[in-house]
Structure 1
């Protein structure tokens, strides 16, 4: 049995009020909330073994190092990664993508082509535009349709021997679309291209298997999966990570330094310059433990119930339009009310204690496609309830009465 009320007890923030109303937190695509079990791990680190890692011989340093590297193993096992050193600890998905795009500066040239999907977060667009500016490579866009699905026929036609890299999100943060990444990866590999998948939005909802997918790079942010902000991971195949130069220079990423020459450390330390977010990494591992204890199959089934319920109830509202109606999608509903600006709706919902996201969700090309300024986005997690969706629907109806 999936006991949502018992799960909600793990999240202290769900007990608070906002503007005198019980908090209804529906902004999970931006960041998930943190359970007490993860908060306790963070407190334990700073209270009992706060120390820098890897280089210390004293007890605290050794304890911190062990916990940090244990977290790397948890990440490796969760995503079914072949080797632990293929897990690079980063500050999050944006850092991870920039690390790869910077490294490809030496691997692509003028005349090469990079393919990006039309529904990417800005973090998976801008770094590649910068790479194209540096190298003269061309950025080409895989189109989407009105349902918020990629036009795969066009994607297959775009692939050629010129294609060096394809990058796409696993799940759209703005629309909730689950993209056919296995087909994308397999087709790209047939022409010799590498593939980077932005898994930030997928990680809270499903377990991605790196060996089964055979993807070259995959990125995740811990704060999307009940962990802390400021930490994430980059998975990269050993052969690709070996080709990329270090992204940053400093301590930890070196083997030997002289004023004449520096040699770099082996993986993963080659890409982990400086003192990392030690506590964040340890808490990332704890968050993975927490989510696995609940079970991703149970999470997916429950969140699908929430998605169906919210979609049905919201569509009963006159003038409401949902953007992103893909056959395969996760628990995100982006919508607008005819004649109303999404910001105005979001502001009124906040007065009622309802947290949603408004705007273009760092996916402005999607909004340009639909010719809208943005949407109201309600994104659900496994700790949300149908009763909270009812509160959202009533809140939207109240906003309409106030604004129309």
Structure 2
């Protein structure tokens, strides 16, 4: 097996070639006609179509799946673990803000994160990010100390850091879980891309793309556009180094998210159908796809489709469908409870009323 130093040297050698290939693909993609309805619509349609076909083909076996009292208890535990994962996710977001040398009010930041999390289910899949950017731009709501406001590029970068690090952490966990199956490189590449030399331009490009998207969203204020050749030091934010601490916080979040999924596996007595490393690998890949692939809000359909494709040959399809659908319900219930609790806290605590996003 090659050493990390050899992999690093190989990546540095092929990086210019990868950049040229990426530039060529971008030029070709601009000449192709746009898909009617957009890529998000077609990804959603294909994912849901695949899922509905699987449900139809396994309808009888799926209806035969039954939960005993212990199974219902496991689902309840899954909701609790998923709710805890959301709290950790809010803390991980605050850790990312601190990494950007901001001074977040920890309790208020977590509550604001939980309150905005439910907005990810709205069409467009960007409203939760827009709400967090608005809170950061207003600065004095979430930040302590002398900082009264945050520039839009920095607010966007600090907000986009959260899903990027979550996806990187999930792929790293998948690499650890599936190292025998040849997945280490998959998890290593995103971790290398977090090196500031490469992560700075990547985050800048994504920030400008989201800035344009937010400016086109109805009901949002136009945002100033950053010139495409902006120097990193004047782009409104500068990465302070490698995001190791925020990455570890996101890894804890992903593992707790898997804990909610594992409770669904136990609810249907499928823990012996596959080693836990296999369940973790399948979950991490499916969860990452649901996070980064443009599709229905909340990754609906994409997560389930990837999970079926990844584990369908190792686990009976009907129980696997039952696990996937029950996890969707568990995760959605946790999202609802987290948002409702955060809103209730904001209504009861006068110190939180200024952090309301409504």
Q: Common fold, TM-score beyond 0.5?
A: no
TM-score class, shorter-chain normalisation, is: under 0.3
What TM-score, normalized to structure 1? 0.25
Report the structure, 1 or 2, having the larger strand content. Answer: 1
**With CA pairs under 8 Å and 6+ residues apart, which has the higher RCO, 1 or 2?**
2
| Normalised TM-score (structure 2) | 0.27
Going by fraction, where is helix more abundant, 1 or 2? 2
